[in-house]
């Protein structure tokens, strides 16, 4: 509020987005405190035992993995009279930079060398076009000919194939001519204006200079443009529903789905998703025509077209109007919004701090998704022998019945344990004034095991007790010591003594501790050793 009062007039967005800015700052503050907590745990563990130097590798791990600043590590160490191995930190940092550069160099080494003219893209309006082969590549190097069975990359002088860009995947299809058939599996940019058609020559031979017919896979392109076009409508709807702070952080558009990452610091609620779906489908039903205009960046700015923060634009840009959305976009799109058919969100999740991801489907994929959901609902209704419209209430009834049965089972287990407990009292042995009991009780869960233990402690008064149960080759152990004996025998030590013999470990309070194990065959011997262990502690 103080910052808004001081600078709100100069920066109107501060006032408009005051609440969302405060939410983001609060979330960042909480994350930083979590970072401090995690970092301090690692620091304490490293410096335990009187260490006088914080290793550079540890300092780098704190910085790189947990976001713990080096100067903060240095401040903490200084307070404790410990120095930081900054040379080791710098070495670890340089090693990571070298690895990153090597990865980048590997990608560049794979890039194809091309010095010819750019190709002409006609794919906005045409999905088939005649073209001439101007370059061929096999195994990453330039070639003059491809033969049947060879994988390669083809460059054409003119192409209707869209090369991957702006989140939209590259086109697939076929290049054919004079007996040659080259199956295009992907289209990638070699340069900004040079498209490489990646694939395999299915038959014939293909040479530089050959004439071919370039045919885009129309079904895949149609499905892809539906998903791309709806991404624009969804982006606008998200800003309307969640707030203008929503900004695109990444996207992937292919024939199956649209995947959209955006800035938002909280999960999108089911109600908000329904609102977004309603707004987008309303735009689809309006069936308005899309319009794409090429203009200079200054003119585009004046139209109010949305520009992505951090994106680099050239002097000339393409302004796309689809429905009520206006953005800069070089991708391929539907002719009318109605061509999208149907829009359905299928998932929403967080992918990074302050970044959410939505996946959605359109057209036939949306129909298939809804039909699958309907089929699942019908199968569930059939299993529960109830009409679909009454499925919700029927599931509620079944859950109530399950809870009731679980209570009955728990009560029966309690009665069984109580009766077994009465029999066990007689099995306790006296060890230097403490009643010691170690027994196996099958058919009990952890809670019932604890309850039985408490009842036995009440009956035996001064005692050290170990109870165990086995379920599906897993051992559960409970150890209890009465309050008057915890000064001599600790339940945590006792349960660990038994657990280690059955391949497990555990812990707890001096009077009650739990453990698990994986070797039920060793349980009898472990329980038999309890009296001697207790005797050794007295």
Write out the DSSP string of 389-424. Answer: GGHHHHHHHHHHHHHHHHHHHHHHHHHHHHHHHHHH
Q: Does some domain include residue 402?
A: no
Q: Are 137 and 195 in contact (CB under 8 A)?
A: no
pLDDT of residue 108: 36
- Which has more pLDDT, 50 or 464? 464
291 in the same domain as 206 = no
pLDDT of residue 61: 86
246-250 mean pLDDT: 91
CATH number of the domain enclosing 141: 2.40.30.130
359 in the same domain as 240 = yes
25 in the same domain as 146 = no
Residue 107's pLDDT band (cuts 50, 70, 90): very low
- 483-519 pLDDT, tens digit per residue, is 999 989 999 999 999 999 999 888 788 899 999 899 9
- Which DSSP helix (H) or strand (E) runs through 2? helix 2-7
Q: Does some domain include residue 463?
A: yes
352 in the same domain as 255 = yes
| pLDDT exceeds cutoff 70 at 417 | no
211 in the same domain as 228 = no
Q: What are the backbone angles phi and psi of residue 188, rounded to the nearest 5°? A: -130, 155
Strand partners, 436: 429, 464
pLDDT of residue 443: 76
| pLDDT exceeds cutoff 90 at 320 | yes
At residue 169, the 3 state secondary structure works out as coil
Q: Are 510 and 532 in contact (CB under 8 A)?
A: no
pLDDT of residue 311: 67
243 in the same domain as 208 = no
Measure the CA angle with vertex 501, ends 498 and 504; round to 5°: 80
pLDDT of residue 315: 84
Q: Does some domain include residue 382?
A: no
The alpha carbon of 303 is separated from its chain's Cα centroid by a whole number of angstroms, namely: 37
- Per the structure, the count of domains in the chain is 4
Residue 102's pLDDT band (cuts 50, 70, 90): low
Task: Identify the residue whose tokens are 């299809």.
Answer: 173
**Closest Cα to residue 457, out of 430, 437, 487, 432?**
437
533 in the same domain as 415 = yes
Q: Are 527 and 466 in contact (CB under 8 A)?
A: yes
Least confident of 42-46, 154-158, 163-167: 42-46
Measure the CA angle with vertex 154, ends 153 and 157; round to 5°: 150
- Which has more pLDDT, 411 or 397? 397
At residue 183, the 3 state secondary structure works out as strand
Radius of gyration, CA atoms only, the chain: 34
281 in the same domain as 253 = yes
100-107 mean pLDDT: 52
Q: Does some domain include residue 378?
A: no
CATH number of the domain enclosing 271: 3.30.980.10
Phi-psi region of 147 (alpha: psi -120 to 50; beta: other; left: phi over 0): beta
Strand partners, 191: 194
d(CA 8, CA 246): 20
pLDDT of residue 477: 93
| pLDDT exceeds cutoff 70 at 103 | no
Locate 336 and state its tokens.
């009318």
| pLDDT exceeds cutoff 50 at 106 | no
**What share of the chain has pLDDT > 70, as a percent?**
94
416 in the same domain as 509 = yes
Domain end residue (candidates: 171, 187, 216): 216
208 in the same domain as 318 = no
Range of the domain at 421: 409-537
**Closest Cα to residue 485, out of 433, 413, 427?**
433
**Closest Cα to residue 469, out of 533, 420, 435, 402?**
420
pLDDT of residue 25: 76
Q: Are 130 and 211 in contact (CB under 8 A)?
A: yes
Residue 537's pLDDT band (cuts 50, 70, 90): confident
196-200 mean pLDDT: 96
Q: Does some domain include residue 377?
A: no
Q: Does some domain include residue 398?
A: no
Q: Does some domain include residue 393?
A: no
- 376-400 pLDDT, tens digit per residue, is 999 999 999 999 999 999 999 999 9
CATH number of the domain enclosing 479: 3.10.310.40
Residue spans of beta strands (DSSP E) within 223-376: 248-253, 258-263, 291-296, 316-322, 325-328, 343-352, 355-362
Q: Does some domain include residue 210?
A: yes
- 267-277 pLDDT, tens digit per residue, is 999 999 999 99
- 84-97 pLDDT, tens digit per residue, is 899 999 998 888 88
d(CA 494, CA 231): 61
β pairing state of 434-440 and 463-471: parallel
Q: Are 77 and 54 in contact (CB under 8 A)?
A: yes
| Buried residues in 339-355 as b, exposed as e (16+ CB within 10 A) | bbbbbbbeebeeeeebe
414 in the same domain as 502 = yes
254 in the same domain as 175 = no
Domain end residue (candidates: 70, 103, 136): 103
At residue 214, the 3 state secondary structure works out as strand
Domain end residue (candidates: 216, 241, 272): 216
- Which has more pLDDT, 449 or 3? 449
Residue 524's pLDDT band (cuts 50, 70, 90): very high
- 33-42 pLDDT, tens digit per residue, is 777 777 778 8
Sign, Cα dihedral of 250, 253, 254, 255: positive
466-471 mean pLDDT: 91
| pLDDT exceeds cutoff 80 at 68 | no
| pLDDT exceeds cutoff 80 at 418 | no
| pLDDT exceeds cutoff 90 at 72 | no
């Amino acid at each position: 509020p103080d910052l808004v009062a001081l600078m709100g007039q100069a920066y109107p967005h501060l006032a408009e987005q005051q609440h969302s800015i405060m939410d983001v700052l609060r979330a960042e503050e909480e994350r930083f405190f979590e970072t401090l907590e995690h970092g301090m745990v690692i620091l304490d563990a490293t410096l335990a035992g009187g260490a006088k130097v914080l290793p550079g590798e540890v300092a780098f791990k704190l910085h790189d993995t947990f976001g713990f600043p080096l100067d903060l590590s240095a401040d903490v160490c200084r307070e404790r009279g410990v120095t930081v191995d900054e040379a080791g930190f710098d070495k670890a940092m340089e090693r990571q930079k070298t690895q990153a550069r090597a990865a980048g160099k590997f990608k560049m080494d794979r890039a194809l060398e091309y010095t010819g003219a750019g190709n002409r893209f006609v794919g906005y309006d045409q999905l088939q076009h005649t073209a001439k082969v101007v370059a061929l590549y096999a195994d990453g190097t330039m070639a003059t000919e491809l033969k049947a069975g060879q994988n390669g990359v083809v460059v054409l002088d003119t192409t209707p194939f869209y090369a991957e860009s702006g989140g939209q995947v590259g086109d697939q299809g076929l290049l054919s001519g004079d007996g040659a058939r080259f199956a295009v599996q992907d289209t990638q940019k070699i340069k900004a204006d040079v498209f490489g058609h990646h694939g395999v020559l299915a038959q014939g031979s293909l040479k530089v200079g050959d004439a071919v017919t370039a045919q885009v896979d129309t079904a895949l392109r149609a499905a892809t443009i539906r998903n791309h076009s709806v991404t624009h409508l969804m982006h606008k709807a998200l800003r309307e529903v969640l707030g203008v702070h929503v900004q695109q952080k990444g996207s992937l558009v292919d024939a199956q789905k649209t995947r959209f990452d955006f800035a938002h610091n909280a999960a999108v609620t089911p109600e908000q998703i329904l609102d977004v779906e309603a707004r987008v489908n309303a735009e689809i039903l309006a069936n308005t025509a899309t319009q794409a205009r090429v203009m200079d960046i200054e003119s585009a700015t004046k139209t109010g077209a949305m520009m992505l923060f951090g994106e680099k634009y050239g002097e000339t840009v393409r302004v796309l109007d689809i429905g009520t959305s206006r953005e800069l976009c070089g991708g391929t799109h539907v002719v009318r919004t109605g061509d999208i058919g149907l829009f359905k969100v299928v998932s929403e999740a967080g992918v990074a701090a302050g970044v959410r991801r939505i996946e959605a489907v359109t057209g036939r994929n949306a129909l298939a998704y809804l039909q699958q959901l309907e089929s699942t609902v019908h199968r569930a209704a059939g299993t529960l022998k109830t009409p679909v419209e009454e499925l919700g209430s029927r599931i509620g009834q079944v859950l109530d019945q399950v809870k009731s049965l679980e209570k009955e089972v728990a009560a029966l287990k309690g009665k069984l344990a109580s009766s077994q407990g009465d029999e066990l009292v007689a099995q306790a042995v006296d060890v230097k004034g403490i009643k010691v009991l170690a027994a196996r009780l099958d058919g009990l869960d952890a809670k019932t095991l604890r309850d039985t233990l408490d009842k036995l402690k009440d009956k035996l008064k001064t005692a050290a007790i170990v109870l165990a149960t086995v379920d599906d080759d897993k051992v559960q152990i409970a150890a209890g010591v009465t309050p008057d004996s915890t000064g001599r025998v600790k339940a945590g030590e006792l349960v660990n003594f038994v657990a280690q013999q059955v391949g497990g470990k555990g812990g707890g309070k001096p009077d009650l501790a739990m453990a698990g194990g994986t070797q039920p065959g060793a349980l009898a011997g472990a329980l038999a050793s309890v009296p001697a262990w207790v005797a050794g502690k007295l």
